Amino acid sequence: MAIDARIRRLVRERAGLRCEYCQLSEKHSPVARLQVEHIVPRKHGGVDAEGNLALACIDCNLRKGSNLTGLDPDSGNITPLFHPRRQSWTEHFRWDGVRVLGLTPEGRTTIRVLELNSPDRVQLRLALAS
């Protein structure tokens, strides 16, 4: 079942055409247009409602996949991923130059699972910053 076009527009506008995980602007997305993704995937009971949808770049969407959790690199505990509808990006992450730092277990875990600081992503941010 496809997501309604009106809801897709709402998700894209609400996100300001930025990935809600890594903050990449759609105009700088090197591979593809940003995608509407399910925060809680359908396979885990997620629905096509506005509150369960986020805008994600292809890298974040592919790496997140159907994951809901990961291991916090500091504690080793199983930790939920950042939830863009229920949580504020600035409470869980901050920028350190072109690297994203995790301020909370959810932030650190999301950085790890989505590989927000992979060499390719850091290189793209460096290129965009110059």
pLDDT digits (tens, 9 = 90+) for 74-127: 999 999 999 999 999 999 999 999 999 999 999 999 999 999 999 999 999 999
Residue 77 half-sphere exposure, CB side, CA atoms within 13 Å? Answer: 9
Q: For residue 6, how far is the Cα from the chain centroid?
A: 21
Q: Is the pLDDT of residue 1 over 80?
A: no
Q: Give Cα separations from 77 to 21, 80, 92, 102 (angstroms).
A: 21, 10, 17, 15
What is the pTM for the complete model shown? 0.94
Number of folded domains that form the chain: 1
Domain of 107 in residue numbering reads as 5-129
| pLDDT band, residue 130 (cuts 50/70/90) | confident
Residue closest to 78 by CA, chosen among 105, 116, 101:
105
